[in-house]
Every structure is written in C-alpha cells, then in structure tokens.
Amino acid sequence: MTDLGDSSIGGRVQAVEAEYRSRQARMFRNFALVEGALLAAVVLIVYVFGLVDPEIGKFVLAGVAVLGGLGLSLLLMQHMKSRNAAIAEARGENPLF
C-alpha cells in the first residue's frame, strides 16, 4: 500500500487513478441529474400538460434519450482519454511519442 505522500511511480499513478475515479463519479451524478430533469420535463410537457401530441411525444422522448446516450458516450470517451494521458504523465512517459 502506498502513502498519499508517496512520490514513486506507483504512488503517483494511484493518486491519478483516485482523482479520476472521483471525477467520473461526479460526472455520472451530474449527468444523471441533468438527464433525469430533462426527461421529466419532456414527460410533463407531453403527458401532463398536453402541449405536444402523445404520438409525437414518444419520438421526442426517444430522441432526448438517444441524444443523452450519445452525450454520455462522448463524455466517457473524453474522460478516458484525459485519464490515460494523466496516467502516462504520472509514469513519466512522453505523450508525444
């Protein structure tokens, strides 16, 4: 087990991984809050207030869900890319080569 003040390669990599785990958890939480609120708003607009026809509202709801899934995929890919770069930097590897 390495100490938090450990400056070895393993200690630096563990610190980077811990930081990115907490970042990923915050990202998932924030995304779930925004996506849930957006989906709830669409459901309210379509089915409760009746501002949009329910036949069309199904497609709107599906579209919001698909766009949310694509957005989450892009966020995860960006997160993994920056995490891998940070781990390579912690190991002392040159990211240009």
SS3 49: coil
Mean pLDDT of the chain: 90
The predicted model gives 2-23 an average pLDDT of 83
Read off the tokens for 90.
């912690």
The pLDDT assigned to 2 comes to 47
Q: What global pTM score does this model have? A: 0.80
Q: What is the percent of the chain where pLDDT is above 90?
A: 77
Give Cβ neighbours of residue 23 (< 8 Å, ≥ 6 apart).
79
Helix spans in 1-97 (H): 9-43, 54-91
